Structure 1
Amino acid sequence: MKFVLLACLAAVAVAAPQPQDGRPVVLVLRDDRVDNGDGNFNYAFEADNGIAVEASGTPGVAGQSNIQGVYRYILDDGSVAEVRYVADENGFRPESPLLPTPHPLPLHAQEQIRFAEEQRALGVTFE
């Protein structure tokens, strides 16, 4: 009887999740999903490493999905980063104290805008 008990415990230990490539195993604490089949949906996901995502969506008038949601993760200093967002016909609009405002344009985007303004001033059209 003791042998059977030890064999069962050994089987459970071997079947337990093992770290891969030195990375820790992350356990899923919550994974709730509801899809009504009509374009309306909700989901919530949470892992034991502090990552969490929640969103709800509805069909948009222009054929897109309108989504409101939030995602969270743990920063290196142990604080929680949180980003709330809306995505709809007006694009993706994140909000978080972590995001700089106004959002600075990358240098390549600034160069493209400058070039387009120069072309417009010269009367160049692209048709």
Structure 2
Amino acid sequence: MKFFVCAFLLIASACADVSHLTGPQIPILKQANDVGTDGSYAWNFESANGIVAQEQGALKNAGSKDEAQEARGSAGWTAPDGTPIQLTYIADENGYQPQGAHIPTPPPVPQAILRALEYIRSNPPHPDTKN
């Protein structure tokens, strides 16, 4: 009985129309992968809808206590509103560090706050003063 249930599910899934779930298929125009014997690698691709991406990585300080994998890469695509997006990144022992004009940044610190912080730094509390 289990065989028939599994066979039925396999046939049903093969016949199911899932095109509405996956969207249109986008061809890959270019793709390359290279893996070195030392753990280094590089890959890149370009798709027909304008997505491009590339990355290369290697092991830094191999065999030492500071050993770490490092990856550097970039990607580009067009946002739904038509804005071109360019992203570059480094991922290493310091974490993932993306850069791109589309990444939100905090507003600048107001001058009054900067002056107050400078005043506090240049006038530390006396040791005999209680908090």
Residue of 79, 84, 103 corresponding to 1:99: 103
- Structure 2 counterpart of 1:40, one-letter code: S
Mind listing any 5+ residue stretches in structure 1 that lack a counterpart?
1-18, 104-127
The residue aligned with 2:24 is 24
SS state at 1:21 partner = helix
CA drift of 1:30 comes to 0.9
The answer as to 2:56 corresponding to 1:56 is yes
Identity percentage over the alignment?
27
- Structure 1 counterpart of 2:53, one-letter code: V
The residue aligned with 1:78 is 82
Cα distance in structure 1, aligned partners of 2:93 and 2:57: 13
TM-score, normalization by structure 2? 0.58
Is this contact kept in 2: 1:70–1:84, CA < 8 A?
yes
CA drift of 1:78 comes to 2.0
CA drift of 1:32 comes to 0.5
Is this contact kept in 2: 1:73–1:80, CA < 8 A?
yes
Aligned-CA RMSD value:
2.0
CA drift of 1:73 comes to 1.7
Cα distance in structure 1, aligned partners of 2:95 and 2:106: 16
SS state at 1:83 partner = strand
CA drift of 1:52 comes to 1.5
Pick closer, same or farther for the CA change 1:76–1:59 going to 2, 3 Å. same
The residue aligned with 1:65 is 69
Cα distance in structure 2, aligned partners of 1:60 and 1:98: 30
TM-score, normalization by structure 1? 0.60
Matches within 5 A, 1:35-46: 35-46=35-46
